[in-house]
Chains A and B, each alone.
Chain A
Amino acid sequence: MPDQLDLMQGTLDMLILKAVSLGPLHGYGVLLRIQQISGEQLAIQQGSLYPALFRLEHQGLLATEWGESDNKRKAKFYRLTPAGRRQFRAEAHRWNCMTTLMAGILSTTPEEV
């Protein structure tokens, strides 16, 4: 199981970084943003969101700030730090390379071998 979990974790981190890179968000907002940009295809487990957010903050990739939400509620907002932005670009690049590679491999036909 750990392999799968690691992969999932890495993916979640990247999704969070992407969501936050579009503008500062509170935790619930991150959840909504990911649902929205994935075309409602991805639903993030509420239980795994906060550990991931705290971990990213702990790693210095996210910075936090208490502020007011749209509907005047007090909420903690996350935004990308420069290190977070660098990390996100690197991750995204690696992800793209990987998917191209995987797509190439998977579409290989017997004649091409």
Chain B
Amino acid sequence: MPILARLRSFTNSFLHRTQRESEIAAELRSHIQLRADDLERSGLSPTEALRLARIEFGGIETHKVNIRASLGLRLLDELRADLRYATRMLRRSPGFTAVAIASLALGIGSTTAMFSLIYAVILHPFPYAGADRIVNPSVTDEAHPQVPTWFALTPAQFDIFRHAKAIDSVLGFELGGLQTTGGNLPEDVRAAYITGNASTFLGVPALLGRELLPSDSAQGSNQSNVIVLNYDYWRSKYDGDAKIIGKTLQLNHIDYTIVGVMPRRFTFTETVGLADVYIPWTAARAPGLLPWIKLKPGVTLAAANAEFQSYLDQFKKETPKHFPANFHVNVQPIVAPYVHRTGPILTLLFISVLLLPIVGCANCSVLLLARGEARQHELAIRSAIGASRNRIIRQLLVESLTISFAGAFLGAIAAYWLAKLPLQLMPGTFPLEAAITVNLPILAFAIALALATGLLFRLAPALRISRPNVSQIMQASVADHSNSTSKRGLNLLIAGQVALTLVLLGAAGAAIAGFLKITVVHLGYDPHDVMAIGIPLKRDTTKNRPARTAYINQLRERVAAVPGVVSVAVSAKGIPPSPPFNGAGSQAPFDIFGAQQQPQQLAATLLISPEYFAILRIPLLAGRVWDQAENRHGDFVAVINRTLAQRYWPKGDAVGHQLRVPSLKDDGQSLSVASPQSGEWRQIIGVVADSKNDGLEKRVAPEIYVPYTTFMWDRTQLFVRTAAPPLASLHAIRSALASANPDQRTETDVAVLDDVLQYQPVWTQQRLFSILFSFFACLALILSLVGIASTVSFAVSRRSNELGIRMALGAERSHIVWIVVKTAFVAVAAGVTSGLLINLTLQKALHHWMPASVTAPWILAAVTLLLLVSAAFACLLPARRAANIDPIQTLRAQ
């Protein structure tokens, strides 16, 4: 009870202050009156009695202050007074206030934006219940330990696995490609079959209708033909139709009833591939299940790994093909792939963005120190009439916190927009489920930042100017009491600012140079007006190779006949400039006939039809390309690129030699079909020019081209060169494919080769770095210039008297300008020197974090020049004022 009463009385006295005040006054008056009455009774005259009572009682105001102090309200009162005083002071110098607030708002805004991005991407990316306990079913293959692989379970295994002690619950799912039927053209639909416990496991309610329920998955019931749509699919295919529930969607000739639409943030399972629709899992629909495992609270990953290992060892005996030969369980939180992919980028950006509030703080300190000189007089007076040092420091801190909080407020608003920038600049890198919003942790972060900056930029100046030498200052004139310590502090701050700015400029320069290098890189192929269309093929267990070859060729010819199509080629895997991905990695070992296998004798292998070179305009340097008969046959021929030819046949006699690629051998998998001697010796019949095949930023890798018929999977790709922009012909091409086979679907995402370049991770990443670093560096530069300009301009106003005398004695204008600029110049020079040193030491680290960046002396030289020129302007503009001082005026003013 007392605590509550105290709180009530506290808020009362805080909120109803005036009422409380008058009540206290009334009580004290009544006390004096009562005392006076007593005195009067003892024989004094009424006036005399009242006078004596008043004298006895003392000052009413003092009593009031004591009372409020005894209630613990005094601090609040003083703070309120400080705040009022601070706002009055700040309003009196709007220029200073605006610059200070803007400096902090920029710094706090960018840092908060970056933090909210990190929060959204790494700390809280998924909308699922208990998302931090959900782990991917990943195992580490001892043969390829770099990238974890996932395991799938049979329904029986899934049922056993569910009962592991570490497991809270398991969600099983399987992805599959379906196509719409009953409409005009078959369209590809990506389906996720999910087990009945999905709604409780994920805990995300449907936007419209309902989620899938356990009853939907009941064996053999007709109820299982229900479907839930993904938000994006609903928007794009149904225009966000609100009355969609209850309608039917026909997929692979089966009618599904649409029962729900999921909300936007729900994009399960984009960690492995986006799904357009969610369908109840049944054994008939999907043979296996990928488990998403929600661990019990408190179970460590190590404990889970240890327990799962014995389960999986058992499962491996039943289904050896589902697991690598040698593996250990290595479950990962579902956020791990994103941390892996974006962690370094975000760390680098966060570290560099932290420089901004520091520069902003330095700027505020510079302004305050410069202004502090002017305030010495005021503070000396306050100190002379009895203000304690603590009181003055507190007053100054309240002032600076007012500035910081105003800055934080503006910064938080700016952050809301800024945070979305990286997402737009780097699509596909961040989890789609991450929602960038301004929420409590982020606001707390901004406020913490405001407090930190407020203390940081104010404490040093406050400590210094709160100890004014009263007698000296009071005697001196207002304008003349600069001392050397404050100048040194000021110069240090300016130098620090300049150094940090140069660091950011250096990073920006390296990022931009790296980006430019990527954009002007020589591709070696012509991506204009070419697109790649992915074509899933029906699983053909008969392994009838001639039929599959003929079918692919038929599709190719149908598409080639479409008006507007210039030519068509088959390329089974890979889209330049990325490496063709073959399970184990992009490059595989190969042998040269009659030569010893060298270490690292690796090459990328591309399975193509002979038209490929013409379509991408890759010139033939020597020999020839295989013909159609050889293409059907598949064996015995190969074409290599220039890099490979030069490395092993430097004399230019590659054509006619033989090589073989063991990884092309028939692997016995049900999905693939190989030519009889696919892994045997092939004659090099031609050499083509190099084209980028290992990412934009890397050198061209050795590459071997072989006919696509030598090894075929259940998917192929058509490269189509068109006369006009390629997407315009897409509908006609799809119709042509449907005319060859009405059930032949095509993959939804078509890769236009020009666009592919801009989706290269290194391209987007480097563009992001370039833009953000330039942005950061520009902000830092502006802040530093403001800092430099304001010191010079304060120096001018402070020394106008001295300058006036010098001019009266005949000093040249240029000399006057030099006097004013000199101090700032020394600071800038020191800053540039240390900035250059920091840059040089950081170069290695920068290269590690931003591999595609270019660090070269000329870049540093260029940014240094930029900094120096702009700093010179920042000095000279206010210094010109010094040169225009009228000596008579200033001398008279004294």
Contacts and interface: CB of A to CB of B under 8 A. Distances in A.
15 contacts: A26-B30, A27-B27, A28-B30, A46-B56, A51-B66, A55-B70, A55-B71, A60-B1, A60-B4, A71-B34, A73-B34, A74-B26, A74-B30, A76-B26, A76-B27
Contact of B5 (A50, A59, A74): A59
B28 interface: yes
A92 interface: no
A55 B66 CA distance: 11
A58 B40 CA distance: 34
Contact of A46 (B4, B5, B26, B57): B57
Contacts of A58: 5-6, 9-10, 71
Contacts of B56: 46
Given A51-B67, A57-B9, 9 more contacts: A26-B31, A47-B62, A47-B63, A50-B63, A51-B63, A52-B70, A59-B5, A60-B4, A83-B1
Interface string B284-318: 00000000000000000000000000000000000
B826 interface: no
Interface string B1-45: 110111001100000000000011011101101110100000000
B71 A54 contact: yes
A61 B6 CA distance: 10
Interface in B57-84: 57-58, 62-63, 66-67, 69-71
Contacts of B67: 50-51, 54
Contacts of B5: 58-60, 83
Contacts of B35: 28
Interface of A: 26-29, 46-48, 50-52, 54-55, 57-61, 69, 71, 73-76, 83
A61 B9 CA distance: 12
A29 B63 CA distance: 18
Complex A-B, nearest 9 residue pairs according to Cβ-Cβ distance, in ascending order = A60-B5, A51-B70, A28-B34, A58-B9, A75-B30, A76-B27, A51-B66, A55-B70, A60-B2
B31 A28 contact: yes
Contacts of A51: 63, 66-67, 69-70
A48 B57 CA distance: 11
Nearest to B20: A54
Contact of A83 (B2, B9, B27, B33): B2
A31 B69 CA distance: 21
A104 B30 CA distance: 45
A78 to B, nearest CB: 10
Contacts of A28: 30-31, 34-35
Contacts of A54: 24, 67, 70-71
A73 B1 CA distance: 33
Nearest to A76: B27
B70 A27 contact: no
A96 B775 CA distance: 74
Given A47-B58, A51-B66, A27 B9 contact: no
B64 to A, nearest CB: 9
B57 A75 contact: no
A50 B6 contact: no
B37 A46 contact: no
A26 B2 CA distance: 22
Nearest to A45: B58
Contacts of B26: 74, 76
